[in-house]
Structure 1
Amino acid sequence: MQKLSLDALVREHLERATAASTGRCAATVYGGHEHVLRQTLLALTAGTVLAEHENPGEATLLVLRGRVRLSSGDTSWEGRTGDLITIPEARHSLQAVEDAAVLLTVAKT
């Protein structure tokens, strides 16, 4: 069994994102490419955008801190701390409306 403090990881990775020229920092906290399930912590500074990309598989986004906007086509969803967003099965992008950290959970089929 493994136990992680998501609060501590959020603090650490938001500091790293702030120091990075890209305004973002990511780390896999569970699983990986060799597993069906993968959970990745993404920290983004306000205004940082993950450009439109393909759906990674069945996926959700849990907002751990801050506020983000997930967009797909002409539709967008805003998530705040504590919100869980189901990622659409289509190309999409993610923008940090304010400094934010999210937990991306992907189950590859």
Structure 2
Amino acid sequence: MEPEDRSSDRSTATRDAIDDAFLALRDRKRRFACYFLLEHETASLSEVADVVSGWIHTADGRLVESRCRDRCHLQLRHVHVPTLVETGVIAYDDEAETLSLAPCREPVRELIARACRNETGSCT
């Protein structure tokens, strides 16, 4: 019986996590949610929807209307947050309606930080 190569398992797990992170960060709303959580660690879904809709609309030179914010909230709740949870980038407490980067592995967190710096010019 051959000895197990644990470094190979770790390498595969890291690759899988990074693949998942790229999938998660492919969408601008998901990236912006991660950028906000990078700075605030935990936030309510409502707060994240406010910030994400504001960033998207101001970047496009538009004012945020309540219907745009409501649409963003629904998209986050039903599409983007589940994707971020499924890929292991964030944790979501359904009862408290809070999001957190808590489970995010270090290489993924660094990937988010780099994307944030490149896209916004700031972030921790």
> Structures share a fold, TM > 0.5?
no
- Length-normalised TM-score, structure 2: 0.27
* Greater percentage in helix: 2
- Length-normalised TM-score, structure 1: 0.29
* Structure with the greater alpha carbon radius of gyration: 2
* Greater percentage in strand: 1
